[in-house]
Amino acid sequence: MDMDTLRRVDMYWRAANYLSVGQIYLLDNPLLTEPLTPEHIKPRLLGHWGTTPGLNFCFAHLNRVINARDQEMIYIAGPGHGGPAAVAHAWLEGTYTERYPGVTRDAAGMRKLFRQFSFPGGIPSHVAPETPGSIHEGGELGYSLAHAYGAAFDNPDLVVACVIGDGEAETGPLAASWHSNKFTDPARDGVVLPILHLNGYKIANPTVLARIPEDELVKLLEGYGYRPHLVSGDEPAAMHELMAETLETVFDQIAAYKEGDGGRLPMIVLRSPKGWTGPAVVDGVPIEGTWRAHQVPLAGVRDDAGHREMLQEWMRSYRPEELFDELGRPVAEITVTVPEGERRMSASPHANGGVLLRPLALPDFRDYAVQVKSPAAESSEPTRVLGTWLRDVIAANPETFRLLGPDETASNRLSAVFETTDRAWDAEVLPTDEHLAAGGRVMEVLSEHLCQGWLEGYLLTGRHGLFNCYEAFIHIVDAMFNQHAKWLESSKKIGWRAPVASLNYLLSSHVWRQDHNGFSHQDPGFLDVVVNKKAEVVRVYLPPDANTLLSVGDHCLRSRDYVNVVVAGKQPVLDLFTMDEAIAHCTRGLGILEWAGTENLSRDETATGPDVVLACAGDVPTLETLAAAALLREHLPELRVRVVNVVDLMRLQQPSEHPHGMKDAEFDALFTPDRPVIFNFHGYPWLIHRLTYRRTNHAGLHVRGYKEEGTTTTPFDMAMLNDIDRYHLVIDVIDRVPGLAVRAAALRQRMVDTRLRARAHTREHGEDLPEVRDWTWPY
Amino acid sequence: MDMDTLRRVDMYWRAANYLSVGQIYLLDNPLLTEPLTPEHIKPRLLGHWGTTPGLNFCFAHLNRVINARDQEMIYIAGPGHGGPAAVAHAWLEGTYTERYPGVTRDAAGMRKLFRQFSFPGGIPSHVAPETPGSIHEGGELGYSLAHAYGAAFDNPDLVVACVIGDGEAETGPLAASWHSNKFTDPARDGVVLPILHLNGYKIANPTVLARIPEDELVKLLEGYGYRPHLVSGDEPAAMHELMAETLETVFDQIAAYKEGDGGRLPMIVLRSPKGWTGPAVVDGVPIEGTWRAHQVPLAGVRDDAGHREMLQEWMRSYRPEELFDELGRPVAEITVTVPEGERRMSASPHANGGVLLRPLALPDFRDYAVQVKSPAAESSEPTRVLGTWLRDVIAANPETFRLLGPDETASNRLSAVFETTDRAWDAEVLPTDEHLAAGGRVMEVLSEHLCQGWLEGYLLTGRHGLFNCYEAFIHIVDAMFNQHAKWLESSKKIGWRAPVASLNYLLSSHVWRQDHNGFSHQDPGFLDVVVNKKAEVVRVYLPPDANTLLSVGDHCLRSRDYVNVVVAGKQPVLDLFTMDEAIAHCTRGLGILEWAGTENLSRDETATGPDVVLACAGDVPTLETLAAAALLREHLPELRVRVVNVVDLMRLQQPSEHPHGMKDAEFDALFTPDRPVIFNFHGYPWLIHRLTYRRTNHAGLHVRGYKEEGTTTTPFDMAMLNDIDRYHLVIDVIDRVPGLAVRAAALRQRMVDTRLRARAHTREHGEDLPEVRDWTWPY
Residue at B650 is within a domain: yes
Residue A81: the pLDDT is 84
Q: Radius of gyration (Cα) for chain A, nearest Å?
A: 30
Q: Which residues contact B586 (CB under 8 A, 6 or more apart)?
A: B541, B543, B548, B551, B552, B555, B647, B648
Cβ–Cβ gap A125/B516 under 8 Å = yes
How close, in Å, is residue A594 to chain B by CA atoms?
31
* Residue A603 pLDDT class (50, 70, 90 cuts): low
Segment A634-693, tens digit of pLDDT: 999 999 999 999 999 999 999 999 999 999 999 999 999 999 999 999 999 999 999 999
Residue B343, judged by CB atoms within 10 A of its CB (0-12, 13-18, 19+), counts as: middle
Cβ–Cβ gap A217/B223 under 8 Å = yes
Does the structure show a pLDDT above 80 at A604? Answer: no
Q: Is the Cβ of A558 closer than 8 Å to some Cβ of chain B?
A: no
What residues in B contact A285, CB-CB < 8 Å? none
Q: Is the Cβ of A411 closer than 8 Å to some Cβ of chain B?
A: yes
Cβ–Cβ gap A446/B182 under 8 Å = no
The A residues from 611 to 650 touching B (CB cutoff 8 Å) are none
Report the Cα A517 to chain-centroid distance in Å.
27
Residue at B356 is within a domain: no
Does the structure show a pLDDT above 80 at B1? Answer: no
How close, in Å, is residue A42 to chain B by CA atoms?
7
The A residues from 57 to 86 touching B (CB cutoff 8 Å) are 80
Q: Report the CATH number that the domain containing residue B645 is assigned in CATH.
A: 3.40.50.920
Question: For testing the chain A interface, which of B532, B537, B689, B757 should be mutated: the one with the most A CBs within 10 Å?
Answer: B532
What residues in A contact B122, CB-CB < 8 Å? 712
Q: What angle do CA A451, B269, B18 make, to 5 degrees?
A: 95
Average pLDDT over residues A70-93: 95
Segment A209-257, tens digit of pLDDT: 999 999 999 999 999 999 999 999 999 999 999 999 999 999 999 999 9
Cβ–Cβ gap B126/A206 under 8 Å = no
Task: Select the residue of A43, A167, A533 nearest B407 (Cβ to Cβ).
Answer: A167
Q: Strand ranges (DSSP E) for B648-746?
A: 677-681, 701-704
Residue B602: the pLDDT is 66
Task: Select the residue of A430, A446, A486 nearest B520 (Cβ to Cβ).
Answer: A486
ipTM of the complex, rounded to two decimals:
0.97
Task: Select the residue of A223, A445, A698 nearest B216 (Cβ to Cβ).
Answer: A223
Does the structure show a pLDDT above 90 at A379? Answer: yes
Cβ–Cβ gap B225/A216 under 8 Å = yes
Q: How far is CA A163 from CA A195, A218, B83, B396, in A?
A: 5, 17, 42, 43
Q: Is the Cβ of B241 closer than 8 Å to some Cβ of chain A?
A: no
Question: For testing the chain A interface, which of B690, B706, B772 should be mutated: the one with the most A CBs within 10 Å?
Answer: B690
How close, in Å, is residue B460 to chain A by CA atoms?
17
* Residue A517 pLDDT class (50, 70, 90 cuts): confident
What residues in B contact A766, CB-CB < 8 Å? 27, 42-44, 119-120
Task: Select the residue of A140, A432, A447 nearest B172 (Cβ to Cβ).
Answer: A447
Q: Which amino acid is at B287?
A: I
Does the structure show a pLDDT above 80 at A132? Answer: yes
SS (H, E, C) B668-684: HHHHCCCCCEEEEECCC
Last-in-domain residue among A348, A377, A397 = A348
Average pLDDT over residues B625-640: 97
Q: From CA A209, how far away is CA A198, in angstroms rounded?
A: 7
Residues A374, A336 within the same domain:
no
Segment B535-588, tens digit of pLDDT: 999 999 999 999 999 999 999 999 999 999 999 999 999 999 999 999 999 999
- Closest C-alpha to A138, from A164, A161, A113: A164
Contact B19, B91 (CB under 8 A): yes
- 3-state SS, residue A362: coil
Task: Select the residue of A221, A478, A690 nearest B479 (Cβ to Cβ).
Answer: A478
Residues A230, A169 within the same domain:
yes
What residues in B contact A711, CB-CB < 8 Å? 124
Q: From CA A661, how far away is CA A540, in angstroms rounded?
A: 12
Cβ–Cβ gap A140/B693 under 8 Å = no
Residues A450, A545 within the same domain:
yes
Segment B719-747, tens digit of pLDDT: 999 999 999 999 999 999 999 999 999 99
Q: Is the Cβ of B43 closer than 8 Å to some Cβ of chain A?
A: yes
CA atoms within 13 A on the CB side of A314: 31
Contact A208, B445 (CB under 8 A): yes
**Ramachandran region, residue A401 (left: φ > 0; alpha: ψ -120 to 50; beta: rest):** beta
Segment B385-426, tens digit of pLDDT: 999 999 999 999 999 999 999 998 998 999 999 999 999 999
Cβ–Cβ gap B220/A224 under 8 Å = yes
- Closest C-alpha to B514, from B272, B742, B210, B719: B719
Q: From CA B734, how far away is CA B628, in angstroms rounded?
A: 12
Residues B220, B284 within the same domain:
yes
Q: Please give the full DSSP string across B355-424, using - where no structure is assigned.
A: GT--------GGGGPPP-SSTTSSEE-HHHHHHHHHHHHHHH-TTTEEEEESS-TTTTT-GGGGGT--EE
Does the structure show a pLDDT above 80 at B606? Answer: no
Which chain B residue lies closest to A42 (C-alpha atoms)? B766
Residues A288, A379 within the same domain:
no
* Residue A139 pLDDT class (50, 70, 90 cuts): confident
Residues B532, B392 within the same domain:
yes
What residues in B contact A525, CB-CB < 8 Å? 482, 529, 532
How close, in Å, is residue B22 to chain A by CA atoms?
16
Q: Report the CATH number that the domain containing residue B398 is assigned in CATH.
A: 3.40.50.970
Is the whole-model pTM more than 0.95? yes
Contact A693, A671 (CB under 8 A): no
Residues A155, A297 within the same domain:
yes
What residues in B contact A179, CB-CB < 8 Å? 170, 175, 208
Task: Select the residue of A212, A428, A533 nearest B708 (Cβ to Cβ).
Answer: A533
Residue at A293 is within a domain: yes
Q: From CA B477, how far away is CA B505, in angstroms rounded?
A: 11
Q: Which domain holds residue A269?
A: 3-348
The A residues from 273 to 332 touching B (CB cutoff 8 Å) are 286, 289-290
Residues B596, B555 within the same domain:
no
Residues A669, A547 within the same domain:
no
Contact A441, A360 (CB under 8 A): no
Q: From CA B120, how far away is CA B139, in angstroms rounded?
A: 18
Q: From CA A752, how far away is CA B323, in angstroms rounded?
A: 47
Residues B240, B119 within the same domain:
yes
> Where is mean pLDDT largest: A76-85, A382-391, B43-52?
A382-391
The A residues from 466 to 505 touching B (CB cutoff 8 Å) are 472-473, 475-476, 478-479, 482-483, 486, 489-490
| Exposure b/e, B544-568, CB count within 10 A at least 16 = b | bbbbbbbbbbbbbbeeebbbbbbbb
Q: Strand ranges (DSSP E) for A257-343?
A: 265-271, 281-282, 285-286
Residue B497: the pLDDT is 98
Report the Cα B627 to chain-centroid distance in Å.
37
Residue A138: the pLDDT is 79
Q: From CA B399, how far away is CA B157, in angstroms rounded?
A: 13
Q: How many helices (H) and strands (E) does chain A have?
A: 26, 22
Residues A328, A416 within the same domain:
no
How close, in Å, is residue B36 to chain A by CA atoms?
18
Cβ–Cβ gap B446/A168 under 8 Å = yes
Residue at B359 is within a domain: no
Task: Select the residue of A179, A204, A429 nearest B208 (Cβ to Cβ).
Answer: A179
> In residues, how long is chain B?
779
Residue A616: the pLDDT is 98
* Residue B162 pLDDT class (50, 70, 90 cuts): very high
Contact B219, A219 (CB under 8 A): yes
Residue B341, judged by CB atoms within 10 A of its CB (0-12, 13-18, 19+), counts as: exposed
How do strand A464-470 and strand A503-508 relate by DSSP bridges? parallel
Q: Radius of gyration (Cα) for chain B, nearest Å?
A: 30
SS (H, E, C) B212-262: CCHHHHHHHHHHCCEEEEEEECCCHHHHHHHHHHHHHHHHHHHHHHHCCCC
- Closest C-alpha to A77, from A168, A3, A10, A150: A168
Residue at A100 is within a domain: yes
What residues in B contact A410, CB-CB < 8 Å? 203-204
Segment B321-352, tens digit of pLDDT: 999 999 999 999 999 999 999 999 999 999 99
What residues in A contact B220, CB-CB < 8 Å? 219-220, 222-224
Residues B497, B600 within the same domain:
no
Looking at the 3D structure of chain A, how many domains does it have?
3
Contact B465, B559 (CB under 8 A): no
Average pLDDT over residues A263-290: 95
Residue at A778 is within a domain: no
Q: From CA B73, how far away is CA B778, in angstroms rounded?
A: 63
* Residue B517 pLDDT class (50, 70, 90 cuts): confident
Residue B608: the pLDDT is 81
How close, in Å, is residue A218 to chain B by CA atoms?
7
How close, in Å, is residue B249 to chain A by CA atoms?
22
Q: Which residues contact B520 (CB under 8 A, 6 or more apart)?
A: A80, A124, A126, A128, A137, A139, A140, A483, A486, B472
Q: Strand ranges (DSSP E) for B501-562?
A: 503-508, 538-541
- Closest C-alpha to B122, from B78, B77, B82, B83: B83
What residues in A contact B711, CB-CB < 8 Å? 124
Q: Is the Cβ of B514 closer than 8 Å to some Cβ of chain A?
A: no
Question: For testing the chain A interface, which of B46, B214, B446, B692 should be mutated: the one with the most A CBs within 10 Å?
Answer: B446
Residue at B580 is within a domain: no
Measured in degrees and rounded to the nearest 5, phi and psi for residue A266 equal: -80, 160
Residue at A36 is within a domain: yes
Task: Give me the total of CB pairs closer than 8 Å, taking one residue from chain A and one from chain B.
Answer: 346
Task: Select the residue of B42, B290, B529 nearest A766 (Cβ to Cβ).
Answer: B42
Does the structure show a pLDDT above 80 at B64? Answer: yes
Q: From CA A91, how far away is CA B206, in angstroms rounded?
A: 47
How close, in Å, is residue B457 to chain A by CA atoms?
17
